[in-house]
A and B are shown apart, each in its own frame.
Chain A
Amino acid sequence: MPYPEQMVAPMRAELTSAGVQELRTTAEVESFFAQNTGTALVLVNSVCGCAAGSARPALKSAIGEDTSPDRVATVFAGQDLEATARARELFGYVPPSSPSMALIKDGELVHFVPRHMIEGRDALSIAQDLTAAFAEYC
């Protein structure tokens, strides 16, 4: 069951204030994925405190580097259910986990950061992994 919107609003704002595009409907997700050239990063956001609490600042840090994806978006697992389900379909055959991050290049998933690569880690370590992936694919 989704949490009250006022409770998750700061978790959305943490990303949107950094310029991350939030995709709240299936139409918005499909529109985002329709552009299948260049690189895009999609964060599956979560209310989960320590995992998403590290993932969000990690993403913000990593996309501030010189080499980063052309576009960055987010869906909110457990909150925007249909949008998240559609995004996961478009990632390809990847088990659902949240938070998680998908790096897409020319319409293909090239790098995925599942929850288990986020849980128990600090934002800096996660950001370093993202930066390495950006260096390889972006």
Chain B
Amino acid sequence: MGTFHDTADPLHGITVVAEAGNTVYVGRCHARENGTILLLDVDQHTDGDDGKTNQEYLERAARFGVWKKHEKLTLNADDVTGLSPLSNHFRRPGQKTAPAVETVTAAAPAPVVKELATLETGGVEAPVQLTEAAADEVRRLLVAESREGQGLRLAVSGGGCSGLVYKVEFDAQKEGDIVVACEGFDVLMDRKSTIYLRGVTLDHQQGLSGRGFQFNNPNASNTCGCGESFSV
């Protein structure tokens, strides 16, 4: 779960259902911090509104989405008794009963500190860092896709909701590339991209709830709801 984003919170950018008393709030989770939950583009429903139970409201919301009543809404995490992705409430075609909904804690998760891979930069500061998890995945993919000998190209180009998007792909070294050696492969960057990649850490999340490769950028001033694009 979670979007392609520079935050540890796996719910960032995900449309969630927050239950507080007999009212449910549906909005895109922006942050859980300092005992609050900040939601964007929010609708709310109290049991019985419009003649519908909360469950009936949520089943429709999960099928079609919601009409927002608030651009932003901050909830006190202590008041929230349940927090779950809206997609968990979706009843798939042919599914007769309401889906079992897995809730997550309303409190912000503890930040995860990941071990960084060792990079050989020839004595200069590395423009980027890779976590060991990312380096392991790159090595695995190089073999799985028969791309041994190629490098991992990291780049930034125009696009996305926030102006710039990250790119990650296997590629051959090109003239003018900045090259950083990692165990088993080289990291390749064109010079223009290093301006935006400086300070970025490439991570990889495994499993059903993981999003694959993630760029964690402490310099991004703004990121979009989907998180794959950013501005500085």
Q: Shortest distance in angstroms between B206's beta carbon and chain A's nearest beta carbon?
A: 13
**Nearest opposing residue in chain A for B10, CB measure:** A120
Classify chain A: how many residues form its interface, as a range.
20 to 34
Please tell me if the beta carbons of A53 and B228 are within 8 angstroms of each other in the complex: yes
A48 at the interface (CB under 8 A from B): yes
Chain A contacts of B131 at CB under 8 A? none
Known contacts A48-B226, A94-B64, A112-B64; is A117 also within 8 Å of B161 by CB? no
Asked whether, in the complex, the Cβ of B85 is within 8 Å of the Cβ of A116, the reply is: yes
In Å, the complex CA distance between A117 and B161 comes to 19
The docked-state distance in angstroms from the alpha carbon of A133 to that of B86 is 19
Interface string of B56-97 (1 = CB under 8 A from A): 000000111111100000000000000001110010111000
Centre residue among A100, A116, A122, A129 by max chain B CB count within 10 A: A116
**147-162 of chain B: CB within 8 A of chain A:** 158-161
Assuming A50-B4, A95-B67, A116-B62, what are 11 further A-B pairs, CB within 8 angstroms?
Answer: A7-B158, A47-B159, A48-B225, A50-B3, A50-B226, A53-B228, A116-B85, A119-B225, A119-B226, A120-B211, A132-B94
Given A7-B159, A48-B225, A49-B226, A120 and B13 touching (CB < 8 A)?
A: yes
Closest to B66 in A: A95
Assembled-state Cα–Cα distance A12/B221 (Å)? 28
Show the binding face of B for A, using Cβ within 8 Å.
Answer: 1-4, 13-15, 62-68, 85-87, 90, 92-94, 158-161, 165, 211-212, 224-229
Give A43 Cβ to nearest chain B Cβ, in Å. Answer: 15
Instruction: Identify which of B14, B87, B229 contacts A49 (C-beta below 8 A).
Output: B229
On A, residues with C-beta under 8 Å from B are 3, 7, 47-53, 94-97, 100, 111-112, 114-117, 119-122, 129, 132-133, 136
CB distance from A129 to the nearest CB of B (A): 7
